[in-house]
Chains A and B, each alone.
Chain A
């Protein structure tokens, strides 16, 4: 019983992080059609920013994260405006745009990776924050993990409400359905897609900050998170942001459960789920 509770709670914590990152990627690919291979690097940037602010200036990690997220939103927006909008105009077909924007994001991945390696090297970094143990129902958790869970879920809910209730959220959903008709109904499509790219970067960065509170961080931590995000995007359905959150929770639960049973099978399990879902329900578990 205690083991089951342990697995469920760790799984949800892990899943909330996966969900955030995947929702970010889904905004970038599902809406803006940019398969951003450098998405994981924004996770890494968020983690290192939080680490640096905490260990150098003694800033509270959450405060540092709250300060930095609007900045990543802007960075993402300007990346879209300066690079991807240009690629979109120079590509004749949508397929060509997808290929070329993926290449550009590969370029970004290489550049960010290299700068991070020059800056921090290959060392593993960590800091301690709210690490006192919490006990409930006989299970022990570090306080920072519970905190990360709450913040992750809060961000998800806030984001979901934003998409559902605001005008901008509506514009994003319209662009996800069909960019052409969104443009026809008077939406400044490049502004919306730029915003999607920026929001995607922001979600990745928030997830990175939360990861840095719980785990050790390295300059090369980003890419595995990209792979996980890809799996989750497929699980939840392309363009379905809520699906990504749910898919993230599901994958987190499954991988954690397998991890307790036989650690080496955890990766195999996630790829197996991934390939099976693609074959049986390519529109995603939560799609129509």
Chain B
């Protein structure tokens, strides 16, 4: 018991140390590092919110780009009307509402079909917005009221903190346990009185909420957006890769995965621009071959 208490205390102090470090970062480091840190936070948010839904339920969602893009578009449309925190919140709410709608339509699909459906849906939305801008509004892309790097950094930091805390709380709540039950055996969960559909859609919507907030918070960094950059399909794949790379067995797996992969890719991109994807790909293959449960799997095996 004492040991457990001690462990949690060290864990808390590690998190508080990390938070102080992150809060002070813009004051002592060059601006490129602030930019890298901002994109690291963005990917952590996306990976964590992807895992909130996908790890306990076993569904693979490839629609992250859609909800991220919705956040971006909310900021583009409302950025001048409301103050930034409100717009970021609205970005999350808009994604949440669409998430509920998508969840109602497609959560009865299973496994592979859910994955490809979410992918097809996000591509459908991207191409439809593109077509809409071409033919109805007559302009493709738009300028965004851009914020300075520090402001983007802090808003992203707040979003990532909320997402990480929420994922911890959900994982430990009755709600999260119910979801784990659904993931392990849907039928058994139904028999002990868990409302499977309600829980699934609710969780899907929550994960969409954070993706939308991340999109709205990042949008001020881009200054110019069009449907292809806002709904970029790579944004759907990267969080999946990062989460699996880090390992979805523990809450900190996606955080570790997103941190390392974003960091590695930024370094590779600046040092070896021509061999960047080659090295990235080899890292991937080697990690999966030798650590099938992700990085976290290796750590927990040692314990």
Contact = CB atoms under 8 A, between A and B. Distances in A.
B285 A278 contact: no
A111 B282 CA distance: 7
A269 to B, nearest CB: 9
Contacts of B134: 264
B276 interface: yes
Contacts of A275: 117, 120-121, 124
Contacts of B85: none
Interface in B11-43: none
B60 A114 contact: no
Which of under 10, 10 to 19, 20 to 34, or 35 or more describes the interface residues of A? 35 or more
22 contacts: A90-B292, A95-B111, A103-B284, A104-B288, A108-B281, A109-B281, A111-B278, A111-B281, A111-B282, A114-B277, A118-B275, A227-B123, A230-B119, A238-B112, A265-B131, A267-B123, A268-B131, A274-B124, A278-B117, A279-B109, A279-B117, A282-B109
5 tightest A-B contacts by CB? A110-B281, A107-B284, A114-B278, A107-B285, A271-B124
A109 B116 CA distance: 18
Contacts of B284: 103-104, 106-107, 110
Interface in B227-249: 237, 241, 244-245
A35 B119 CA distance: 14
B292 A278 contact: no
Specify which of A35, A108, A264, A278 lies most central, judged by the most chain B CB atoms within 10 Å of its CB.
Answer: A278
Given A106-B281, A278-B116, A86 B289 contact: yes
Contacts of B106: 278-279
Contacts of B281: 106-111, 113-114
A83 interface: yes
Nearest to B115: A35
B143 interface: no
Interface in A67-99: 83, 86-87, 90-91, 95-96, 98-99
B277 A268 contact: no
B131 to A, nearest CB: 5
Interface string B274-303: 111110111111001100100000000000
Nearest to A274: B120
A32 B289 CA distance: 18
Nearest to A37: B237
A96 B292 contact: yes
A267 B116 contact: no
A237 B58 CA distance: 22
Contact of A110 (B58, B105, B278): B278
Interface of B: 58, 60, 105-106, 109, 111-113, 116-117, 119-121, 123-124, 127-128, 130-131, 134-135, 237, 241, 244-245, 274-278, 280-285, 288-289, 292
A60 B191 CA distance: 65
B120 A103 contact: no
Contact of B241 (A106, A238, A272): A106
A104 B285 contact: yes
Contacts of B283: 107
B288 A103 contact: yes
B244 A99 contact: yes
Given A110-B281, A118-B278, A264-B134, 18 more contacts: A83-B285, A90-B289, A103-B245, A104-B288, A106-B241, A107-B282, A107-B285, A110-B284, A111-B278, A118-B275, A231-B120, A268-B131, A274-B124, A275-B120, A278-B113, A278-B120, A279-B106, A279-B117
A234 interface: yes
Contact of A272 (B105, B111, B124, B276): B124
A103 B60 CA distance: 13
A115 interface: yes
A108 B278 CA distance: 9
B275 A114 contact: yes
A210 B47 CA distance: 40
A24 B47 CA distance: 31
A267 B60 contact: no
B285 A100 contact: no
A275 B106 CA distance: 10
Interface string A220-244: 0000000100110010001000000
Contacts of A29: 112
A166 B87 CA distance: 63
B124 to A, nearest CB: 4
A131 to B, nearest CB: 32
B130 to A, nearest CB: 8
